[in-house]
């Protein structure tokens, strides 16, 4: 009987690898090896009530910043993202856009 290879078998501590693709930006969902243990750098998207879609860490940060700064999450229907700069922009850009559109700050 054969066993499937472990994807971390040939990786060293501190090394990063990717085994999944983020559905939001099509970037990698990174896995880091620390002490022989896999640590997945991922988040659960706020775009669904159930938070049942795993996304990459940068997209998770972007959603959190957008939710807190402007109260808007990019809906799943608009995924995948075609312009990473727009979707991974710093929160300050989002605040500036909100201010320009509404004539006031947050």
In a domain, 86, yes or no: yes
Q: Is 7 part of any domain?
A: no
| Choice between 53 and 106, residue whose per-residue pLDDT is larger | 53
Is residue 5 assigned to a domain? no
Tell me if 6 is assigned to some domain. no
59 is a domain residue? yes
Euclidean distance between CA atoms 43 and 65, whole angstroms: 13
Per DSSP, the three-state class of 77 is: helix
Residue 2 lies in a domain: no
Where is mean pLDDT largest: 1-5, 43-47, 92-96? Answer: 43-47
Per the structure block, which two tokens stand in for 13? 């501590």
Number of folded domains in the chain? 1
Range of 45's domain? 16-102
19, 12 contact by CB (below 8 A): no
pTM exceeding the 0.75 threshold for the entire prediction: no
Whether residue 8 lies inside any domain: the answer is: no
The stretch 77-95 carries a mean pLDDT of 63
Q: Given this model, what pLDDT does residue 36 score? A: 80
């Amino acid at each position: 009987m054969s066993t499937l290879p472990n994807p971390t078998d040939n990786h060293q501590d501190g090394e990063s690898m990717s085994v999944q693709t983020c559905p939001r930006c099509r970037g990698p969902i990174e896995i880091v090896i620390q002490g022989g243990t896999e640590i997945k750098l991922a988040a659960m998207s706020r775009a669904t009530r159930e938070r049942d879609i795993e996304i990459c860490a940068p997209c998770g940060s972007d959603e959190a910043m957008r939710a807190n700064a402007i109260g808007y999450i990019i809906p799943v229907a608009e995924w995948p993202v075609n312009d990473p700069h727009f979707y991974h922009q710093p929160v300050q850009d989002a605040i500036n856009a909100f201010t320009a559109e509404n004539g006031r700050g947050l």
